[in-house]
């Protein structure tokens, strides 16, 4: 049966579906439709279904090529969206791209995944291939997806249907580029299933497609992001070391990275987004009932989660230099998105900082050119403030008019948590300047 499936994948007569039309699912659905596949999208949000069927992308922010691709796919009739799973009864390949968050105790929340599997099972046609693209804790395909789908479909994996895990590597702002240009680990329930999956992805991916088993695919995705989280935490911890020593972490990093095989990352005001703060916990969860003493991965999470608090500490001290109590402070946070030049605010470190400052009874204003509710005139918003805190290195902040800012502010204090500014530009406008990880803070 897998051979027959591979034939229709190769000649693009296989009928596809994507469940979950968000940051990942929508670009994937568009890419396969553009490649020539009859593609159905399923989403629980009726307004999102309507937007997509009218050729309008529901994804905010600048995603090069996505809007054009979507409208072309819908116009060609190769992409249609629905909310009703009954439309999946004739689908040969079904991709699942639903959210897989963790809760405050770092436990994976698979409600969306379970719901998708419960609804898909009854309509799953014999011989179909189901591929989970969502990021999941290693062991989830074997321990949750397989049994749940077998139960809801009454079918047996590798006999009546085929099951795979192919994690995505997209990133806001580069959704289509990453989808096309980054390699993918392709985890199949059997080598034949992995081969059929590679044949499918070959239609949209120009990079390596590396066949593997389920656990390998699940591990690669969570490990690559846990690895990045640990790297960032190391940079943040070096920043904390440099401050009392009068070092400059940015210069230290530059010179460390001249040493072969060194790739020290960038410190900052925190680690946000929908991947890096979550995926290390998915990896940790996979061994929670095994005797594996995890120390480094949770510690890295604690270091990164502690950075907004460190920024708050720097600010309190900077204000105190001018005899300003937190309860009398008015501060402006520059940047609310989790990443420069993005409108994505998921797990924003600035949101954590703002809560901490408000808990200290500060009046907190926010500016972010990419976030509608904060995209006012920066200089107007800064009026009467005593401090600016740069949290996100949006390009729009690269050339601020510091003399003008100083003229509208009560006491010009600048906290530069991303080493965006030239200290001379800031201090020459009579600002007190504090740059994360440097002797400006001690
Ligand atoms: N950050 C630092 N220092 C760094 C790098 C990042 O503080 O040196 C912070 C960022 O400010 C942000 C957070 O970490 O708040 C995450 O940044 P990111 O560059 O990792 O961006 P993400 O979250 O979009 O990460 C995604 C991931 N891709 C997927 O999970 C599919 C990640 O694996 C990629 O490495 C990253 O995109 C990328 O650079 O493409």
Ordered DSSP codes for 371-427? SGGG-S-HHHHHTT-SEEEE-S--GGGTT--HHHHHHHSSS-EEEETT--S-HHHHH
What pairs with residue 162 in β-bridges?
Answer: 129
Contact 188, 180 (CB under 8 A): no
pLDDT band at 151 (very low <50, low <70, confident <90, very high): very high
pLDDT band at 377 (very low <50, low <70, confident <90, very high): very high
Q: How far is the CA of 174 from the centre of ligand 1 (A)?
A: 12
Residue 4 has pLDDT above 80, yes or no: yes
- The residues, ordered by sequence, that sit 6+ positions from 45 with a Cβ below 8 Å of its Cβ are 83
Contact 437, 239 (CB under 8 A): yes
Is residue 275 within 6 Å of ligand 1 at its C-beta?
yes
Residue 65 has pLDDT above 80, yes or no: yes
- The residues, ordered by sequence, that sit 6+ positions from 289 with a Cβ below 8 Å of its Cβ are none
pLDDT band at 441 (very low <50, low <70, confident <90, very high): confident
Closest-CA residue to 1 (of 121, 210, 155, 215): 155
pLDDT value of residue 442:
65
The structure tokens 């994996």 sit at 157
Q: How far is the CA of 398 from the centre of ligand 1 (A)?
A: 21
Is residue 220 within 6 Å of ligand 1 at its C-beta?
no
Closest-CA residue to 331 (of 395, 390, 373, 377): 390
Residue 62 has pLDDT above 80, yes or no: no
pLDDT value of residue 439:
87
Residue pLDDT, tens place only, 308-364: 999 999 999 999 999 999 999 999 999 999 999 988 899 999 999 999 999 999 999
Is residue 250 within 6 Å of ligand 1 at its C-beta?
no
Is residue 170 within 6 Å of ligand 1 at its C-beta?
yes
Nearest 5°: phi and psi at 144?
-130, -50
Residue 244 has pLDDT above 90, yes or no: yes
Question: What's the average model confidence in pLDDT over 253-260?
Answer: 98
Q: How far is the CA of 276 from the centre of ligand 1 (A)?
A: 6
Name the residue of 218, 339, 341 whose CB sits within 8 Å of the most ligand 1 atoms, as the mutation to test its pocket.
339
The structure tokens 């596809």 sit at 16
Q: Whose CA is nearest to atom 33 of ligand 1?
A: 225
pLDDT value of residue 61:
66
Q: Where are the alpha helices (DSSP H) in 206-267?
A: 214-245, 249-256
pLDDT value of residue 60:
67
Q: Rounded to whole angstroms, how far apart are CA atoms 253 and 68?
A: 41
The pTM assigned to this predicted structure is 0.94
Residue 209, CB-side half-sphere exposure with 13 Å CA sphere: 20
Q: Rounded to whole angstroms, how far apart are CA atoms 103 and 357?
A: 24
- Among candidate residues 30, 242, 275, 435, the one labeled active-site is 275
Q: Whose CA is nearest to atom 19 of ligand 1?
A: 339
Closest-CA residue to 349 (of 304, 308, 299, 387): 308
Burial 85-95 (b: 16+ CB within 10 A, else e): bebbeebbbbb
Closest atom of ligand 1 relative to the 279 alpha carbon? 30
Q: Report the DSSP pairing between strands 330-334 and 387-390.
A: parallel
pLDDT value of residue 291:
85
Question: What's the average model confidence in pLDDT over 29-58?
Answer: 96
pLDDT value of residue 45:
95
Residue 29 has pLDDT above 90, yes or no: yes
Is residue 265 within 6 Å of ligand 1 at its C-beta?
yes
Is residue 249 within 6 Å of ligand 1 at its C-beta?
no
pLDDT value of residue 68:
92
Residue 174 has pLDDT above 90, yes or no: no
Q: Rounded to whole angstroms, how far apart are CA atoms 440 and 442?
A: 7
- Residue 221 annotated in active site: yes
Question: What's the average model confidence in pLDDT over 127-153?
Answer: 98
Q: Rounded to whole angstroms, how far apart are CA atoms 136 and 285?
A: 10
pLDDT value of residue 343:
86
Within a 10 A sphere around the Cβ of 67, how many other Cβ atoms?
15
Tell me the percentage of the chain whose pLDDT exceeds 70.
99
Average pLDDT, the chain: 96
CA angle at residue 100 from 97 to 106, to 5 degrees?
165
Q: Distances in Å between the alpha carbon of 366 and those of 89, 109, 363, 378, 412?
A: 48, 31, 10, 9, 16
Residue 263, CB-side half-sphere exposure with 13 Å CA sphere: 5
- DSSP class of residue 179 equals H
Closest-CA residue to 139 (of 210, 220, 219, 225): 219
Lowest mean pLDDT among 11-20, 164-173, 248-257: 164-173
Q: Report the DSSP pairing between strands 129-132 and 162-165.
A: parallel
Alpha-carbon torsion, ordered 302, 304, 309, 312, to 10 deg: 170
Is residue 266 within 6 Å of ligand 1 at its C-beta?
yes
pLDDT value of residue 234:
98
Question: What's the average model confidence in pLDDT over 29-35?
Answer: 96
Q: Note the residue count of the chain.
A: 442
- Residue 275 annotated in active site: yes
Kind and range of the H or E element at 96?
A: strand 93-96
Residue 222 has pLDDT above 90, yes or no: yes
């Amino acid at each position: 049966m897998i051979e027959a499936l591979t034939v229709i994948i190769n000649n693009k007569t296989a009928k596809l579906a994507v469940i979950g039309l968000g940051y990942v699912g929508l670009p994937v659905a568009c890419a396969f439709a553009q490649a020539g596949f009859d593609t159905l999208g399923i989403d629980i949000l009726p307004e999102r279904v309507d937007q997509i069927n009218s050729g309008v992308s529901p994804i905010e922010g600048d995603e090069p090529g996505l809007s054009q691709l979507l409208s072309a796919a819908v116009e060609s009739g190769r992409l249609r969206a629905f909310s009703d799973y009954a439309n999946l009864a004739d689908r040969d390949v079904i991709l699942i791209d639903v959210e897989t968050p963790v809760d405050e105790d770092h436990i994976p929340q698979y409600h969306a995944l379970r719901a998708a599997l419960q609804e898909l099972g009854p309509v799953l046609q014999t011989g179909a291939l189901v591929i989970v693209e969502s990021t999941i804790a290693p062991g989830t395909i074997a321990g949750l997806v397989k049994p749940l789908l077998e139960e809801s479909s009454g079918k047996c994996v590798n006999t009546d249907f085929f099951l795979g895990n192919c994690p995505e590597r997209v990133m806001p702002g580069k959704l289509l580029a990453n989808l096309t240009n980054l390699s993918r680990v392709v985890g199949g329930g059997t080598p034949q299933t992995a081969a059929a999956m590679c044949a499918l992805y070959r239609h949209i991916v120009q990079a390596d497609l590396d066949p593997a088993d389920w656990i390998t695919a699940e591990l690669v995705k969570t490990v690559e992001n846990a690895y990045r989280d640990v790297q960032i935490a190391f940079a943040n911890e070096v920043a904390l070391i440099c401050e009392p020593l009068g070092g400059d972490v940015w210069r230290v990093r530059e010179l460390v990275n001249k040493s072969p095989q060194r790739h020290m990352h960038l410190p900052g005001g925190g680690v946000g987004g929908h991947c890096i703060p979550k995926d290390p916990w998915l990896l940790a969860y996979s061994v929670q009932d095994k005797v594996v003493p995890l120390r480094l991965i949770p510690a890295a999470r604690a270091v990164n989660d502690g950075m907004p608090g460190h920024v708050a500490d720097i600010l309190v001290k900077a204000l105190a230099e001018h005899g300003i109590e937190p309860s009398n402070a008015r501060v402006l946070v520059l940047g609310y998105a989790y990443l420069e030049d993005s409108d994505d605010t998921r797990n924003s470190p600035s949101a954590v900082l703002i809560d901490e400052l408000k808990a200290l009874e500060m009046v907190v204003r926010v500016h972010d050119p990419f976030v509608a509710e904060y995209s006012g005139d920066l200089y107007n918003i800064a009026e009467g403030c005593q401090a600016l805190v740069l949290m996100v290195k949006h390009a729009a902040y690269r050339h601020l008019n510091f003399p003008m800012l100083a003229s509208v502010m009560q006491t010009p204090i600048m906290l530069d948590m991303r080493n965006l500014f030239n200290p001379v530009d800031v201090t020459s406008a009579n600002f007190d300047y504090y740059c994360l990880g440097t002797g400006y803070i001690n």
